[in-house]
Amino acid sequence: MKAYVFPGQGAQFVGMGQDLYDNSAAAKALFEQANEILGFNIKDMMFAGTAEELKQTKVTQPAIFLHSVILAKTLGDAFQPEAVAGHSLGEFSALVAAGAMSFEDGLKLVSQRAQAMQKACEMKPSTMAAVLGLEDAVVENICNEIDGVVVAANYNCPGQLVISGEVAAIEAACEKMKEAGARRALVLPVGGAFHSPLMEPAREELAAAIAATPFTAPSCPIYQNVTASAITDPETIKSNLIAQLTAPVRWTQTVKQMLEDGVSSFTEVGPGKVLQGLVKKVDRSIPTESAAI
């Protein structure tokens, strides 16, 4: 069984998507359409902007979504997924690629999500940190002992978990993680506490937009971040997508479940190779590749 996986924030790079634009008339039309939907020239920022411009959440999220979805669409008949999944933002790319919602609706939701998250970040100083070399349960227990908001946010692969929360709580947790034997506990250069309770204002804002967006059953099951299980029901997909903003990304659990369900190869659709690396950390023997036109 062949699975296609879609990356999230952090995979962006200057020049992303330029080859698609130059080599495919269909891709070119979709990039131009995206500029109209967003109301600014995201194409130029992706192809020739600065790394700083591309790092803004309101730019990063639509940019990665566009690269991933347009790449999937240019694959044509070669794109035949039997399962899909996406890491955080990548879940929106996966849903559009699998036909659960339209390109236009997906891009609008991603743009609204990015802006809502940016606003939530500005309400309270918050951040995230990567913890390497500890069991998930140890990280979770330490988070529970810390005063203030700090939670497990991204279960990326065995031995790599990202925590999210208030700045002081994250710093205190990092010290405790090191004392517990973490190889590293490193505060990340991000704008806020994604996938934590501090994203509640963004969740509320996005909930109304998702509820008003038409969804249909995807062409294959999507393994969603919140449950790490295969979903095809449109209403369940919607509720999981809303919950995703304040819930952890269960990527380790997702990959394990996909393997258990018979997935035999993973193709990453979008910028970079981050997800291929994470899949290999779960099971080194599984074939992985990047999608290419």
CB 103 within 8 A of CB 25: no
Question: What's the CA gap between 111 and 119, in Å, rounded?
Answer: 13
Q: How many CB atoms lie within 10 A of CB 52?
A: 9
Active-site position among 88, 93, 126, 164: 88
Active-site position among 24, 93, 195, 196: 195
Question: What's the CA gap between 83 and 1, in Å, rounded?
Answer: 8
Question: What's the CA gap between 255 and 238, in Å, rounded?
Answer: 21
- Kindly give, in sequence order, each residue whose CB lies less than 8 Å from that of residue 22, ignoring residues fewer than 6 positions away: none
Check if 195 is active-site: yes
Quickly tell me which residue has 């790079």 as its tokens. Answer: 13
Check if 239 is active-site: no
In three-state form (DSSP H/G/I as H, E/B as E, the rest C), the secondary structure along 209-240 is: HHHCCCCCCCCCCEECCCCCCEECCHHHHHHH
CB 92 within 8 A of CB 65: yes
Active-site residues, by number, are 88, 195
